[in-house]
Structure 1
C-alpha cells in the first residue's frame, strides 16, 4: 500500500538527507511529503537542529519567474531556497525508489495578507480581521494559486498536496489573539463568512440575496457581542436555517462554487505540468486537531462549512487527503468511509494519521487505526509529521504499516 511521511525542509537540513531518508525507508514508507510552500508557525521539534523551530511563509525553492511576472501576488522565498533542497530531495528519492509529494499551503499566508489586506476575507462587519486567510474568490488570489500549483509541480513531484485551497474557519485564528466573548459554534461560523465584493458578486450571480445575508450575520453576531447568549450545538444546515435564516444558508452554500472552480483550475494546471493534485480538506483537522476528540458530525458531512463540495470535486480531483485526527479507530474509519461515498470509488483516498499526541497513545492504537482506515477504503496511509514527533513515537510506524484490514 502507498504511504508517505510528512516532512519539513528544516528536518532534512538539520539531520541530513541520508539520515532522514534511511529512517523513513526503514519505517516502510513508500514516499515523502515535503513542505514545498509553507506558512508561519512555531513548533516544538524534539529531534530538530533547534528544539523550537520558527517557520515562515513562502517556498523552499525559487519559482520559475515567468509564472509570476505579470501577477500581483508572488510567494515569499524561504531562506536557503538557493540551495535547492527540493531538487536534491527529488534526486535522492528517485535513487531510493521513493515517491515525492510537494506539500503546498495555498491561501494561508500572513505575509501576503498583511501586505495586501484587500485580498483577505472580509467579515459581515466589513473588517479585514483575518490577515492570514486569502479569499478564494479574489481574482488575484486565484491567479496566484494556479501559478503556485504550477511552480510546485515543476519541481518534479509525483503529486501536489494542496492545503488551505478553500475558505478557512474564524477559529483558525491569528497570532496571540484574544476573545473574551462566548461565541458559539454557529456564531463563529457566521463570523467566518467572507463578504468581500467578489464573494458578494458571485453569490448574487447565483441568485442569493447577499446583502440580506450580510445584514443578518451582522445582526446576530452583533447581538452576541452586545451580550446576547450564544447558540449551542453543532453547525448543520437545518440548525443554521433556524438560527440565521435561509438567505444566510444560501450564501454559505454559494461559496462552494468559488472553491470548486478554483480547485478545478488548480487541478488542471497541475495535470498540465505532468503531476496530480491531492486535495486536503482541513475539516477533519479543525474538528479534532487540539485533542483528537472531534464533534459527532463526520468531516465529509461538514466540509460544506469551508465551501467544499466533495461530490463536485470527486469529478475533478484524482486524490483526496483525509485528515483523520481522532483517537478512536472506529471514528477514523467512519470518516474515511464517508469520503469514499462522497468522492466516488475511483478516487484515491489518503488517510493522514498522527502517530502520537493528541490522537495516539500507543503503537497498538496506531496499528488499529491503520487497519480501520484500510478496511474503510483508504488506498494510502500517510503520517504527520516527522519533525514534530519524538523518535519513539515515530518508531510506531513500521508496525502500523505492517497491518492488514
Structure 2
C-alpha cells in the first residue's frame, strides 16, 4: 500500500531538508505531500524551529506571471520563496526515489477575502461574515482556482492535492470565532449557505426558487437568534426538508453543480500541466476533527452539505483523499467503503489518518486502522502531519505500516 506524510515548508526550513527526508525515508513511506499553498493558522509544533508556529495565507513559490497577470485575484506569497523550497524538495525527493505531491488550499483564504469581500460567501441575511471562505460560484474565484491549480502543477509535483475546493461551513469562516447562541446543526448549516448573486442565479437556472429558500433561512435562523429553540439532530436531507422545507433542500443540492463544474475545470488544468488532481473532501474533518468521534452519518453520505457530489466527481477526478478522522477502525473502514461505492472502484482512494491525538493513542490502534483500510480496498494511507506531532507519535507510522 502506497503511503505519504503531509509536511509543511516550515518543518523543512526549521529542521533541514535532508534531516526531514531521511527521517521520512526511515518510516518506509513512498512520498511527501507538501503544503505548497496554505492558509492562516497557529500551530503547536513540538519539534519545529519555534514551538508555536504562526502560518499565513499564500504560496511557497513565485506565482507564474502568465497565469495571474490578467486576473483580479492573485495568491499572497509566503516569506522565503527566494529559497525555492518546493524546487529543493522536488529535487531531493527525486534523488531518494520518492514522489512529491503539492497540497493546495484553494478557497479558504482570509487575505484574499478581506481584500475582496465581494468574492466571499454571503449568508441569507446579506452578511459577508466569513472572509475566509471564497465562493466557488464567483467568476473571479473560479478563474483564480484554475490558475492556482496550474501554478502548483508547474512546480513539477506528481499530483495536486486539492483542499477546500468546495463550499465551506459557517463554523470555519474566520479565526477566533465566537457564538453564544445555541445554534443547532441545521441552524448552523442554514447560516452557512451562500446566497450571493452568482449562487442565486445558478440555483434559479436549475429551476430552484432561490428567493424562497433565502427567505426560509432568514425566518428559521432569525427565530433562533431571537431566542427560539434550536434544531435537534443531524443534518440529513429528510430532516432538513421537514425543518426548512423543500426549497431550501433544493437550493442546497443545487450547489453541487457549482462545485462539480469547478472541479472539472481544475482537474483539466492540472492534467494539461502534466500532473493529476487528488480531490480532498473535508466532510470527514467536519465530522470528527475536534475529538475523533464523528456523528453517525458516514462522510460520503453527508458530503452534499459542502456541495460535493461524489458520484459526479467520480467521472471527473482520478484520485480522492478521504479524511478519516475517527478513533474507531471499524468506522474508518465503513467510511472508505462508502467512498468507493460512490466514486467507483477504479478511482484511487487515499485515506488520511492522524497518527496521534485525538484519534490514536498507540501504534497498535493506528495499525488496526491500516489493516481496516486494506480490507476496505483503499489504495494508499497518508499521515497528517509531520510538524504537528512529537517524534514518538511519528514513530508509530512504520510500526502501523508493517
Q: How does the TM-score come out when normalised to structure 1?
A: 0.99
2:400 corresponds to 1:391 = no
**Residue 218 of structure 1 aligns to a residue in which SS?**
helix
Unpaired segments ≥5 residues, structure 2: none
2:253 corresponds to 1:248 = no
2:236 corresponds to 1:236 = yes
1:131-169 deviations in Å (ceiling 9; x for gaps): 000000000000000000000000000000000000011
Aligned 8 A contact 2:31 2:100 in 1: yes
* Structural mapping, 1:162-201, within 5 Å: 162-201=162-201
Structure 1 residue 111, shift from structure 2 partner = 0.1
**Residue 345 of structure 1 aligns to a residue in which SS?**
coil
Structure 1 residue 20, shift from structure 2 partner = 0.3
1:294 matched residue in structure 2: 294
Count of aligned pairs between the two proteins: 402
**Residue 135 of structure 2 aligns to a residue in which SS?**
coil
1:273-301 deviations in Å (ceiling 9; x for gaps): 00000000000001000000000000000
2:338 matched residue in structure 1: 338
* Structural mapping, 1:65-144, within 5 Å: 65-144=65-144
1:274 matched residue in structure 2: 274
Work out the CA distance in 1 between the residues paired with 2:174 and 2:357: 23
Work out the CA distance in 1 between the residues paired with 2:334 and 2:28: 26
Runs of 4+ with deviation above 6 angstroms: none
**Residue 123 of structure 2 aligns to a residue in which SS?**
coil
Q: How does the TM-score come out when normalised to structure 2?
A: 1.00
Work out the CA distance in 1 between the residues paired with 2:144 and 2:301: 29
**Residue 145 of structure 1 aligns to a residue in which SS?**
helix
Structure 1 residue 246, shift from structure 2 partner = 0.3
Work out the CA distance in 1 between the residues paired with 2:173 and 2:196: 18
Aligned CA RMSD, in angstroms, stands at 0.4
2:155 matched residue in structure 1: 155
Structure 1 residue 89, shift from structure 2 partner = 0.5
2:207 matched residue in structure 1: 207
Work out the CA distance in 2 between the residues paired with 1:366 and 1:401: 9
1:50-107 deviations in Å (ceiling 9; x for gaps): 0000000000000110000000000000000111000010000000000100000000
**Residue 102 of structure 1 aligns to a residue in which SS?**
strand
Work out the CA distance in 2 between the residues paired with 1:321 and 1:183: 30
**Residue 79 of structure 1 aligns to a residue in which SS?**
coil
**Residue 191 of structure 1 aligns to a residue in which SS?**
helix
**Residue 325 of structure 1 aligns to a residue in which SS?**
coil
Structure 1 residue 2, shift from structure 2 partner = 1.1
Work out the CA distance in 2 between the residues paired with 1:278 and 1:375: 22
1:207-250 deviations in Å (ceiling 9; x for gaps): 00000000000000000000000010000000000000000000
Structure 1 residue 173, shift from structure 2 partner = 3.6
Aligned 8 A contact 2:349 2:378 in 1: yes
Structure 1 residue 399, shift from structure 2 partner = 1.0
